[in-house]
Amino acid sequence: MQISERLNLTFAALADPTRRAILARLATGEATVTELAEPFAMSQPAISKHLKVLERAGLVSTDIDAQRRPRKLEPKRLAEAVDWIERYREIFEQNYQRLDALLAELQAKPSRRKQTKKQH
């Protein structure tokens, strides 16, 4: 799967607050569907629907215990999405740090103003 397709699925999965709460719970350890449904005013089938979306995105997997079938978090896929936003943020931040320097320069007293440096 292309990285952008994977990211589409990941972001769609993360777009829902219930699914984000499920991920937060799974981040503390694996859990069965019953255990996951407990804090929500939601039926198990409704929770299962959310879990399917998360599983399709590769964010959650089912552990091998055939009876309990606990779900667990797949941190690598989540890290990929976070990393992507983080890269984007870093590009903006890099520019904004240069803007910080420029703004400081523009506000400096005229007598102390240095020749502004050429970009890059």
Partner 1 sequence: MPKPAEVTRPSDREVRVTRTFNAPRQLVWDAHTRPELVRQWQGYEGWDMPVCDMDVRVGGNYKWQWKNREDGSQFGFLGTFTEVDDPSKLVHEQYFDPGDMDFAMPTGDPCIVSLELSERNGLTTLVCTLRFASKEACEGALSTGMTDGMEHSYTRLDDMVKAAA
Residues at the contact surface with partner 1, assessed by CB under 8 A: 3-4, 7-8, 11-12, 15, 84-85, 87-96, 98-104, 106-107, 116, 119-120
Dist. CA 101–CA 95, nearest whole Å: 10
CB 85 within 8 A of CB 65: no
Of 29 and 88, which CB lies nearer to partner 1 in the complex structure?
88
Of 65 and 88, which CB lies nearer to partner 1 in the complex structure?
88
Nearest to 10 by CA among 40, 2, 32: 2
Nearest to 10 by CA among 59, 46, 47: 59
Least separation in angstroms between CB 45 and partner 1: 25
Least separation in angstroms between CB 22 and partner 1: 19
C-alpha 30: how far from chain center: 19
> Alpha helix locations (H) across the chain?
3-14, 17-26, 33-37, 44-56, 75-107
Least separation in angstroms between CB 88 and partner 1: 6
Least separation in angstroms between CB 23 and partner 1: 16
Of 11 and 56, which CB lies nearer to partner 1 in the complex structure?
11
Of 3 and 66, which CB lies nearer to partner 1 in the complex structure?
3
